Structure 1
């Protein structure tokens, strides 16, 4: 097997994707421009890839209009810059936010459902197919960049690290891995985006990172992307004179990000335009949302601009027939982004519960409360509960840190295009300082690259994997995982005993490690169809392997249900319960192998699902 000399970091973003390649020999990081279609019969290398697919109508463009050098493409599916630009004018043919659909529990991820609610497209794409097309475009861009640079890098000698939101559940993580394999990337390492951002900061700071942090620091990684918001906490401790880093908390899955801001801005501009006597129908409103995204990004990226003009087309025979124009001002953007999403609230204010309407529009499960400040308050409150649940972890902190109702960060690392805007960063710092009331203000870690950090950090981490050296953030499983355990005992009419939960992976269990539960025997049903239910928790860091909780559904979150039939033992009846002991292993790829060893023979059975490690 060819030894790997390069590391490729891939940020598969909800709105934009990027790649960074690094060379083991000199540890140099290089951003890759991605060759893509920017107009019919026109290709260019751009710094990133818009995470959009335009599904062209029959005969809309001539055959071959979107071919890339050395690669013929179906004219029906265009990925990247042209897809976003043209699709903003024909929004019901534009696939966007495919990444968010991977974590929806309400759809079949292999069914063609995108563009969502489109009546114009007959041959739609599934979320996993859309993800595969994005990744295939990135693979092509990687190969084209290698050829242009006359480099010897290729996928055979490259370690690939692909990032996912820290809040991605096991299903979404496995689907991302599946899409990567289908795109030709082979076996990839999946890495959490906030951790990747932190590794990028470490790479940029070099040996000086130790001068910017100190033992006792609690660093909040605040990552607001296009479709999700991710929070993680990393603590700094001193062991035998050396600084060590450990991730101690990961937030819940939040479908709240730049997409929500785009929608809010579109509503404001719609009211503004209607106040001027202009009419915007539902189809034009979709185009307005995409136009607001482009205008927002322009204002965030160019601080000299005070406003950006935009136009919304109609369905006339000419593309811009009957188009209406308006503009997005910086004042409007700041007002909606800050006062709407990041107001200065009290730390005790939690997100509002979802409305209990019996009938709702079916779609992505966006957060019912869009106030990011409240979700941050909830994350810090739950983080304190998680630390207090583990005596050894709590022992790393002073009584002052553990006092109060939430865990108080001492520093913040920002990530995501949302934080290109200085007012957004300043507002988060003001919010944290208002909550903590500490003498020393919460500080921002200097040197972050808000839009390129994830790809940079993934490539840097990949180098560390290849060299076996470098700074490492101790992480492991971000949650504790449990398997449902049926209660033993006499049946009682009219009463169904609660399902118990057995901890098989404690929070922080490292990849490549294993746990054997020798102290207990369990009964395994073989030879007939059975269901295994898996649960998890982000706030029970103190549970060890073998801990049994009395009521799984009440105390935990259900993450996965596996239905299968296990091969019966020879000489045993179908449906017979056989005694087993459990052996859990978290592999280097981030999957859990749960072996069930028959205690009377060498026979064993295996269950497998993905857990989130770096």
Structure 2
């Protein structure tokens, strides 16, 4: 491994911060922007603080943000609630009338039907289907396309959806426009702006935060992690006496529990070895980073950060709502449940305050015309809240307490909440994992936490603070029963992060006290699946501006062919060095979305491969860059002349085509040698290139060559066959039979469109080659085309599926297809497999299929129709996004239509004219009913208990498998054979639908 390089001309200090200052900002004082601005982009609230560097006394101030608090009332508040609301038609009319008689800043009235801030939060509690909340949590959700328009989750049909990034940008834009309105001579985009994010944000979330700021009109920002910002705020408050409050060797825990996340950070107080000039210092000024105290210097070192935990105030709200709902006679419907969760937020804040009442009442107004009759009231006591929150989220546990794995009990809001809600368990796990981190100084004589800084809205509660301090005292008090860690006080936990971010902007200019912050996490690139191993590519002690070259493992890559680089990150393996090869341990390492690329080199048009090495770079704002560099150019001193390809994170990977990129399930199912692939090539050439063999015999000849039945071909072999078929693509035009066989085998070899690295590239290539370009327009070829798209639908994008749906709607609604034709059957099965269609598109197709089910002449088509309806109305999709699943009400309508259909009556097959078809219909009906009514513990998707009881009765009448009954009653997963029935084909070895 080559030594790390620093490409910046000023050579960053080895104690650089988590986000260095760009060259343009290191300038003379008179050229520096006037304001240092810190923005807390929070899950629940946003806060903007600033420092006027021209003021006689440079103090951090909190900006009062103008915002709507009612339809016609404007006020300025210290916080901007992180909520986005779409007005109803009547609200939009009232708001427009109120604005006509007022002189309101333009940014407060456009767009006319949207609001952010206080009014959005309040109105959303009444109309939750119009409210976007917790966008920051969605920004870090690894299981969705975070750039896709999916919020509000389960929103009303007339509400335009936004992506998590767009919602975040809306809050930042409001802050920017409010600032610009108040400071027309100093627009925010021209100031030093620091935006905060959780220390545990993954690389995609960090990059999307930067993109959200750019969309909001802030193209130049710096990032700082929230726990560090909170500690900077404490340093600012104690600028005169902080040195008397700490001593060398002490360990400081920053415990930050906000609305959406729990963020844990450890800071060690160390002696500074020497005073160094850093890029943050203005020339001619000295830094107060190192303070003389009793002949020694002190410096703060951030040494560890915790895992990403979507566990915070939102979870506490849900828990209170669950506890309150338990007092009611029956579970609330979905929209009423959302109102209860919103009301529970207020109960939490009230009951965690120091002057709380002994009891409070939650009132939910009735819906519809009968407001009094439909209203709900439930009493919540302080004792009940303590039991739910303190005992549920902050129990007294020993230091060796283990975090419980599995799935979170909260499924309604769609977020991947931490499976174990006990925050004290996660804290114990974090402190155990970092027991020896940073204990390499002679002055460190203890591994216990000496000081605690609390931050975040949840920790405004003294009861929760006391519980955490009590746990720390039990863990580290040893024989000293009176010992407990000292708490570093903060007057406003909801403002501290933005205040610290503004102070940090000053620190970057060389003023104040600086925290030395390494990366505190190690990045790995997976290099093998069997056994799973990875190479360290960025160490935990990396500093911004440093570049690492992994030249101990040179790779040969084919030009123009895509490659995949699964990435892992660890916050516990902090000693690994670049180039070290390690075993992958999922308990210590977390998968990141993989990186994909296809190298294109104009200089190597005739050469098929090149030697490359991997270079990594920690950028100045704390994100990472990964590059492929031609091995012949890697040694060149002039980096501008080397051939480099930047590798970008696949933001959609966890949702789209390479869901299994890190597990390697497809690759691990069988490795194929080159000779075997060459034998397959010969058989394929004999049919398509030479024309020596008939197309109908190709599969049989391949099975003989491989000595494996077709369903036993492993994914790696299948993808090799796909490459061979694409190589002979032009020869499919020999005849309709050749094209039909080529289409059939191509789809089979690429199914289900994901599961093997770079399947997204293969699927995209297939689409470009074939969509609208079939050579022979006959029924068999058209049917095989439908089969191909169905088989690889999981790898098709939203836009591609929409194009297929447009073609299908014309075909299926024209009435031109004979019901008994293979083309009609395969068209409906393709329609059912398109899971990335909007809900309304699915409803239109479902209604058309239900209408066909009522035509006796279409009886031969019934199994395909039922299969398609089951896929389109399923509660849990096979591969698609959950936000495009039909709601419970629409699913119930489908169930009612199916249960009333005579074709589903439980008659004995032998009593019909075609017993085989009758049995086939009953089997398809059982699978469809199970998919549509399977319990998933999400009240937006789950059918009512009475409806599920009706389905269970029908399933038993149809002699459905008992497992189907359990899935409807209790929930669970389909087994492999049942998944194959849902997929409509056999699944490749090692690949599951979800």
Range into which the TM-score falls when normalised by the shorter chain:
0.7 to 0.9
1: CA distance, partners of 2:65 / 2:408: 45
Matched residue, 1:23: 52
Matched residue, 1:131: 168
Alignment gaps of 5+ in structure 1: 388-392, 403-407, 487-495
1:469 to 504, 511, 528: 511
**Residue 525 and residue 482 in structure 1: after superposition, are their counterparts in 2 closer, same or farther (change >3 A)?**
farther
After TM superposition, the structure 1 = structure 2 runs for residues 359-370 of structure 1, keeping only pairs within 5 Å, are: 363-370=414-421
2:74 to 43, 51, 66: 43
1: CA distance, partners of 2:151 / 2:604: 50
Q: Does 1:69 align with 2:100?
A: no
2: CA distance, partners of 1:580 / 1:325: 67
2: CA distance, partners of 1:459 / 1:176: 18
What are the superposed Cα offsets for residues 481-531 of structure 1, whole Å, 9 maximum, x if unpaired? 122335xxxxxxxxx633542222110211123334566644344322221
- Tell me the CA shift for residue 574 of structure 1: 5.5
Kept in 1: contact 2:596–2:648 (CA 8 A) = no
1: CA distance, partners of 2:515 / 2:350: 34
2: CA distance, partners of 1:595 / 1:46: 45
- Tell me the CA shift for residue 119 of structure 1: 4.5
- Tell me the CA shift for residue 227 of structure 1: 0.9
Matched residue, 1:285: 337
What are the superposed Cα offsets for residues 231-257 of structure 1, whole Å, 9 maximum, x if unpaired? 110011113411111111111111111
Matched residue, 1:249: 304
Kept in 2: contact 1:201–1:448 (CA 8 A) = no
Moved more, 252-261 or 585-594: 585-594
Q: Does 1:395 align with 2:440?
A: yes
Q: Does 1:5 align with 2:47?
A: no
SS across alignment from 2:434: helix
Kept in 1: contact 2:596–2:647 (CA 8 A) = no
1: CA distance, partners of 2:126 / 2:370: 11
Normalised by the length of structure 1, the TM-score is: 0.87
Matched residue, 1:442: 485
1: CA distance, partners of 2:577 / 2:97: 58
CA RMSD of aligned residues (A): 2.8
**Residue 199 and residue 349 in structure 1: after superposition, are their counterparts in 2 closer, same or farther (change >3 A)?**
same
Kept in 2: contact 1:33–1:141 (CA 8 A) = no
- Tell me the CA shift for residue 120 of structure 1: 4.3
Bigger relative contact order, structure 1 or 2, given CA contacts below 8 A and separation 6+? 1
Matched residue, 1:537: 570
2: CA distance, partners of 1:298 / 1:102: 29
**Residue 554 and residue 310 in structure 1: after superposition, are their counterparts in 2 closer, same or farther (change >3 A)?**
closer
Alignment gaps of 5+ in structure 2: 1-23, 25-30, 274-295, 634-640, 650-994
Larger radius of gyration: 2
SS across alignment from 2:122: helix
After TM superposition, the structure 1 = structure 2 runs for residues 320-399 of structure 1, keeping only pairs within 5 Å, are: 322-355=374-407, 363-384=414-435, 387=437, 393-396=438-441
After TM superposition, the structure 1 = structure 2 runs for residues 227-246 of structure 1, keeping only pairs within 5 Å, are: 227-240=260-273, 241-246=296-301
Q: Does 1:587 align with 2:587?
A: no
Matched residue, 2:146: 109
**Residue 568 and residue 66 in structure 1: after superposition, are their counterparts in 2 closer, same or farther (change >3 A)?**
farther
Q: Does 1:296 align with 2:351?
A: no
Higher helix share: 2
Matched residue, 2:220: 187
SS across alignment from 2:470: helix
1: CA distance, partners of 2:62 / 2:558: 53
Normalised by the length of structure 2, the TM-score is: 0.55
Kept in 2: contact 1:160–1:462 (CA 8 A) = yes
Matched residue, 2:868: none
Kept in 2: contact 1:527–1:574 (CA 8 A) = no
Moved more, 420-429 or 24-33: 24-33
- Tell me the CA shift for residue 169 of structure 1: 0.7
2: CA distance, partners of 1:376 / 1:459: 28
Moved more, 476-485 or 244-253: 476-485
Kept in 2: contact 1:87–1:94 (CA 8 A) = yes
Kept in 2: contact 1:566–1:605 (CA 8 A) = no
- Tell me the CA shift for residue 28 of structure 1: 1.3
**Residue 120 and residue 345 in structure 1: after superposition, are their counterparts in 2 closer, same or farther (change >3 A)?**
same
SS across alignment from 2:316: helix
**Residue 30 and residue 318 in structure 1: after superposition, are their counterparts in 2 closer, same or farther (change >3 A)?**
farther
2:246 to 189, 206, 213: 213
Matched residue, 1:490: none
Q: Does 1:546 align with 2:589?
A: no
- Tell me the CA shift for residue 81 of structure 1: 0.6
- Tell me the CA shift for residue 477 of structure 1: 1.5
Q: Does 1:426 align with 2:466?
A: yes
2: CA distance, partners of 1:320 / 1:170: 50
2: CA distance, partners of 1:17 / 1:317: 37
Matched residue, 1:390: none
- Tell me the CA shift for residue 412 of structure 1: 0.5
Kept in 1: contact 2:248–2:444 (CA 8 A) = no
SS across alignment from 1:570: helix
1: CA distance, partners of 2:614 / 2:442: 34
Q: Does 1:98 align with 2:135?
A: yes
2: CA distance, partners of 1:595 / 1:83: 43
1:89 to 119, 123, 126: 126
1:561 to 572, 581, 594: 594
Kept in 1: contact 2:564–2:595 (CA 8 A) = yes
Moved more, 75-84 or 521-530: 521-530
1: CA distance, partners of 2:490 / 2:407: 41
SS across alignment from 2:110: coil
What are the superposed Cα offsets for residues 398-431 of structure 1, whole Å, 9 maximum, x if unpaired? 78635xxxxx311100001111111111111001
2: CA distance, partners of 1:267 / 1:568: 58
Moved more, 313-322 or 291-300: 313-322
1: CA distance, partners of 2:160 / 2:314: 25
SS across alignment from 1:61: helix
Kept in 1: contact 2:595–2:648 (CA 8 A) = no
What are the superposed Cα offsets for residues 440-488 of structure 1, whole Å, 9 maximum, x if unpaired? 42111134531111000110001111x22321111132311122335xx
1: CA distance, partners of 2:60 / 2:383: 37
What are the superposed Cα offsets for residues 72-119 of structure 1, whole Å, 9 maximum, x if unpaired? 323332111111111111222221111111111221122222221234
Moved more, 137-146 or 207-216: 137-146
SS across alignment from 2:299: strand
